[in-house]
Structure 1
Amino acid sequence: MYFKKILLAILLIGLVIAGLFANYVYRVMLVDNTAFNNEQAFIYVPTGATYSDVREQLMPLLKDIEKFDALAKQKKYISNIKAGRYAIKKGMNNNDIINSIRSKNLPIKLAFNNQPNLTALAGRVSMQIEADSLKLVEVMNDESFLTKKSFTKATALGMYIPNSYEFFWNTSAKQFRDKMLTEYNRFWNDSRKAKAKAIGLTEEEVMTLASIVHEESKQAVEQPRIAGVYLNRLRIGMPLQADPTLKFAAYQLPEYKGTVIKRVLNIHKEINSPYNTYMYAGLPPGLITMPDISAIDAVLNPETHQYLYFAADATKLGYHKFAKTLSQHNANAREYQRYLSSQGIKK
């Protein structure tokens, strides 16, 4: 009888302990532990982060960080931190949170357009992924990579086609560059390559001319006509005489740093630079900016015409007037020059 009482007491104690343990497990693993009102929150875990780094981000998002610590330790998450962007949904329990931040790295949409140079592009990209701008500039300008892939520092910007792309937040600078090369090769499909060959230009030359077309006009509807003008000039050996290339050449000089050239003058035409397309015939060595896809496709699908000249349209700003003869062009140009003067724009 006494023995049975002992067994019963042990059983009751065991049940109490089991109940307490079950309650603890329930509170630690299965109870909502989120403390925010939005539908979800995100944490960004850097490469090489420690549990303390993750914990610091989690603290304002959780009701009870200590209970999370206990489960993280039990599930060995504290020694197995993985970089990435992770979502924590409202109402998640600790077990769900750990499962999410351990294995569900979420991609982001990375977008860029109209960047004037690689430094600006690196700055734009570094705002969206973990890689910093200095490292991005370094790998983008890596001479061994550029040589191996048939680019130069002057044409390297053309490897980055403006668009939106899917990346993981913890993408490294090298991973970003290499994926953009893959995207560049995908962009240059057989159809675009055939069109480039038909107009007698390489892929790099198309990108260079597209950068000039882009700077001349942001109006997609007239970009094919402008491209046709420049291709007509190239065909007959006439200098491109593109004002945007003069501005680009000027901005490389110390005296023009931090300035904005609104009016191209004769003094600009005297700058001795391979980008001075008044002084040197043919295409310049590389891009003067990042062209939109519309400008690239405008070069590949130019309008067929006999125009050799165009000037900004003073009656329809943002557009141009086209001419077949120099005399008509001079009349159009004088009209626009008068407009600039009326606005007090002298340089």
Structure 2
Amino acid sequence: MEILSNLTSQFPIFSLTGIPGLESVHSWLSIPFCCLFAVALSGNSMILFVILTQQSLHEPVYYFLSMLSATELGLTVSTMSTTVGVLWFNASKISLDTCIIQMFFLHGFTFVESGVLVAMTFDHYVAICNPLRYTTILTNSRIIQMGLLMIIRTVVIVVPLLLLLKDLSFCRANALSHSYCYHPDVIKLACSDTWANSICGLIGLILTTGIDTSCIVLSYILIICSILSIASPEERHKVFSTFVSHIRAVAIFCIPMVSLSLMDHYGRSAPRVVHSVMANIYLVLPPELNPIIYSVKTKQIHKAILQILCQKHSRRNEYYKIRSQSKNYSNLYSMS
């Protein structure tokens, strides 16, 4: 065993981990996981569909919300396959190349989502602090430029970070702590020097989450100062309630991500089940809760969803009415 542990490989096979200590009930645990994934997929798809099809929602704030739903769909799909595979079929083996591909989408969509939250914060800042110039600042071309900038920033940061993994050597016992590939978790298993990987990872984190969080905090300070300067308490409450949903979305995104990062760096003595639970919360919580928050708290989204559902219900009733009428006519014809 000691000899095997010292052997290294440039083409390792990693072992994904479900929930340690509960392997015998993984098939049962897959049921709530699949339900959560279904809620995330259906909720974000519904919001994306509503915004794209409803002309009244073709505004900057809803464009950014559609970007958020698209990134969360990508985040859910990119990690759902391995998580369900581990819980359902005990398919825990994954190669380095497949792991790198999954990390590209996982970290890529995470960085894009961070940028989208900054753009949504900027949208709220302009709408509250400088409403007269809202339409001239947030034009369609500028929104497209912001989206392209998020994607370019993500590719420039993520691709070099992942390519550095190809130069590492890994020990034979490559058991990951999560049901998906996570960069800090992967480099902990390397037998060779990971100094460059850690530095690039830190730089990438600063250039994305670090800068984005600072921009969000600064925007919130300016927004709150602008709200407090409003004389009317009713108007102040109305303006403040317009971006409460966004504050919740930022908290849902940041708290699990920061908790998982701290757990991987400083909580190595914690039980493995704690790492697994934190990883799954980071994976499932934001894509599941954000559609619920925005569909319930945003009146326009809520109204548009109800309108679509009512239209489908009326079309179904009309279909059954026409069908019953046709049956009556056919019966009358056969009797005659």
Which TM class, normalised by the smaller chain length? under 0.3
Pick the structure with more helix per residue. 2
Larger relative strand fraction: 1
Question: What TM-score do you get using the length of structure 1 for normalisation?
Answer: 0.20
Highest Rg: 1 or 2?
1
TM-score by length of 2: 0.20
